[in-house]
Amino acid sequence: MKPIQVMGVRGLPLIQAGDNIAAMICENTTVHEGDVLCVASTIYSKSKGHTKPLLAITPSERAIRLGNLNGEDPRFVQAVLDASTDIIMEYPFILSELAFGHIGVRAGVDQSNIEDGMVIFLPPDPMKAADELREEIRTITGKCVGTIITDTCGRSFRRGQTGNAIGWSGMVAIRDFRGDTDLFGHVLKITEEAVVDEIAGFANFVMGESNNGVPAVIFRNCPAWTGHDNLYFTNDEDITKRVLKKEWS
Ligand code: GDP
Ligand code: MN
Ligand code: MN
């Protein structure tokens, strides 16, 4: 097995609405057949104009109430509410469900790495975003890569944020070990590995969170895996969500 290489893509400018990030990434690096390209959701959203000035937002009564409760700008809270299909927790921070299945703190709405007074939304359909980037890279370079749209997310039970995959293309999300035998011949019954999140986690480490300016990371020589794409629990399966919504005890 060849060593896996991990390379941050340097040299990208501040991304503006209308920028073709696939072309810009290809100008700043050489992709190889079979690479996995991770792209920060932040730059995808900026390139597509999924951003808004706080000045353009009028907070609802609920946004004002939650803003007071959590010590946040009600206009920012309104942006979070607008991006959410369900609010799982209101306090001490808003925990949102989004249309594409993701559950995240403040609906993943960011105020960093953009001009003052602006918010960045997560891509509304990150699976489509990943497909689109993969297609554009194939058109530009002739190379077939896998793509992952990442976002930095908090998590339960442990301090510290990590990178998560919110969209992917050219791979399955989960490597399914069920039915495999371990070193002692035991048949594995439960183990499913969220490979896209593991790759996104390391990509996030290379990106950093502040002024590194590395919104894309390439993985070379990853071994292939097989499994399925059911990364998000269904409502019935998601015990944590049901407990938080007081639907389960
Ligand atoms: P998120 O995890 O998708 O919310 O994105 P972050 O704001 O944490 O940014 C991830 C990485 O991309 C960091 O290295 C940032 O400095 C970098 N980054 C964010 N926006 C831009 C941009 O417009 N241009 C460049 N070159 N880098 C950016
Ligand atoms: Mn983010
Ligand atoms: Mn980040």
Q: Which domains does the chain have, with CATH numbers?
A: 1-50+123-234 (3.30.1330.100), 51-121 (3.90.1660.10)
With a 6 Å cutoff on the Cβ, whether 196 touches ligand 1 is no
Can you tell me the mean pLDDT for 56-75?
98
The yes-or-no verdict on residue 247 having pLDDT over 90 is: no
Tell whether pTM > 0.85: yes
Pocket test for ligand 1, best of 113, 120, 148 (most atoms within 8 A of CB): 113
The residue contributing the CA closest to ligand 1 atom 7 is 113
User: How far apart are the CA of 199 and the centre of ligand 3, in A?
Assistant: 14
The pLDDT, as a whole number, for residue 139 is 98
Q: Please report, rounded to a whole number, the percentage of residues in the chain having pLDDT higher than 70.
A: 100
Rounded to whole angstroms, the Cα distance separating 54 from 73 reads 9
Q: Which ligand 1 atom is the nearest neighbour of the CA of 46? A: 23
| Nearest atom, ligand 1, residue 114 CA | 20
Tens of pLDDT, residue by residue over 89-132, are 999 999 999 999 999 999 999 999 999 999 999 999 999 999 99
Is 70 exceeded by the pLDDT of residue 249? no
- b or e along 191-208 (b: 16 or more beta carbons within 10 Å of the residue's beta carbon)? ebebbbbebbbbbbebbe
Does the CB atom of residue 110 touch ligand 1 within 6 A?
yes
Residue 118 alpha carbon to ligand 3 centre in Å: 16
**Model pLDDT for residues 205-225, shown as the tens digit of each residue:** 999 999 999 999 999 999 999
Ligand 2 center–CA 184 separation, angstroms: 42
Q: How far is the CA of 178 from the centre of ligand 1 (A)?
A: 36
Over the chain, what is the mean pLDDT? 96
pLDDT of residue 123: 98
Does the structure show a pLDDT above 90 at 41?
Answer: yes
Mean pLDDT of 14-31: 98
Tens digits of residue pLDDT in 164-205: 999 999 999 999 988 899 999 999 888 899 999 999 999 999
* pLDDT score of 114: 94
Q: How far is the CA of 98 from the centre of ligand 3 (A)?
A: 18
- Res. 161 pLDDT band, cuts 50 70 90: very high
What is the average per-residue pLDDT within 14-39? 98
Q: Which atom of ligand 1 is nearest to the CA of 209?
A: 8
